[in-house]
Chain A
Amino acid sequence: DGGITQSPKYLFRKEGQNVTLSCEQNLNHDAMYWYRQDPGQGLRLIYYSQIVNDFQKGDIAEGYSVSREKKESFPLTVTSAQKNPTAFYLCASSPKRRMTSTDTQYFGPGTRLTVL
């Protein structure tokens, strides 16, 4: 089946530890995105990547880092510098490098991170 997978579904970490969230897609999409969702809020963009070995900061990039070494993978690291890391993290992808007026974004199932 083609799609976007995120693992794990639930993740618990102690305060001060870095943690890496996985996102893989087999849709052959060029662009990948990371969003954060807090209760009662919409999604906010953390980072995005339009092509391998390139990525850009979104609206709330502080305390996060990403890499894009392979087209199908876009892992997100939540660092100890992120002041409020507990949230639901969603990965998305879209077919083209730059979202055009005829593109859409498709989402993975999400990872719920809880920092204790």
Chain B
Amino acid sequence: GQQLNQSPQSMFIQEGEDVSMNCTSSSIFNTWLWYKQDPGEGPVLLIALYKAGELTSNGRLTAQFGITRKDSFLNISASIPSDVGIYFCAGHRSGGGADGLTFGKGTHLIIQP
């Protein structure tokens, strides 16, 4: 199965900095989802995007569904220590193949004091 290209693989930032990560695919997706995973836990849904061009915010998080439907980005503003974790993008293509999600490999966010 295809995996999404997620970048960067890891980020080392200072507390208070803004963060940006993105996912790209050679295939069109109808839904883009962003999850955060803490070590040893299941992913928690952060933002769901359902329409091309959609821009959605959830507190300090903002995500966009690319116009081409082949990409999405997630921004975190004014990072805080609890933002540490692994962020995954996931896409869903309706109407074909397995009905699960296709995941990126994750962006590991590390915040330096």
Q: Interface of A with B (CB < 8 Å)?
A: 4, 6, 31, 33, 35, 40-45, 48, 50, 56-60, 88, 90, 92, 98-110, 112
How far apart sit A64 and B88, CA to CA, in the bound complex (Å)?
25
Q: Which residue of A lies closest to B98 (CB)?
A: A58
Q: Which of B1, B42, B104, B106 contacts A59, CB < 8 Å?
A: B1
CB distance from B26 to the nearest CB of A (A): 16
Chain B residues contacting A45 (CB-CB under 8 Å) are: 1, 98, 100-101
Q: Give A31 to B88 CA distance when docked, in angstroms.
A: 21
Bound together, the chains give a CA A92 to CA B50 distance in angstroms of 19
Bound complex: CA of A110 vs CA of B103, how far in Å? 16
Q: Is B40 an interface residue (CB 8 A)?
A: yes
Check B45 against A56 for contact (C-beta < 8 Å): no
The answer on a CB contact under 8 Å between A33 and B106 is no
Query: How far is the CB of A48 from the nearest CB of chain B, in Å?
Result: 5
Q: How many A-B residue pairs have CB under 8 A?
A: 85
Question: Quick check: B50 and A102 within 8 Å, CB to CB?
Answer: yes
Whether a CB of chain A sits under 8 angstroms from the CB of B33 is yes
For chain B, residues 76 to 113, give those with C-beta under 8 angstroms from any C-beta of chain A.
88, 90, 92, 94, 98-101, 103-106
User: Does B74 sit at the interface, judged by CB under 8 A?
Assistant: no
Give the CA-CA distance A59 to B48 in the complex, in Å.
23
Quick check: B100 and A35 within 8 Å, CB to CB?
yes
CA of A33 to CA of B92 in the docked complex: distance in angstroms? 14
- Distance A41 CA – B4 CA, assembled complex (angstroms): 11
Would you call A104 and B100 a contact (CB within 8 A)?
A: no
8 Å CB contact of A105 from B33, B41, B105? B33
CB-CB nearest 10 A-B residue pairs: A59-B1, A42-B103, A45-B100, A107-B42, A43-B103, A42-B105, A101-B30, A58-B98, A109-B42, A110-B42
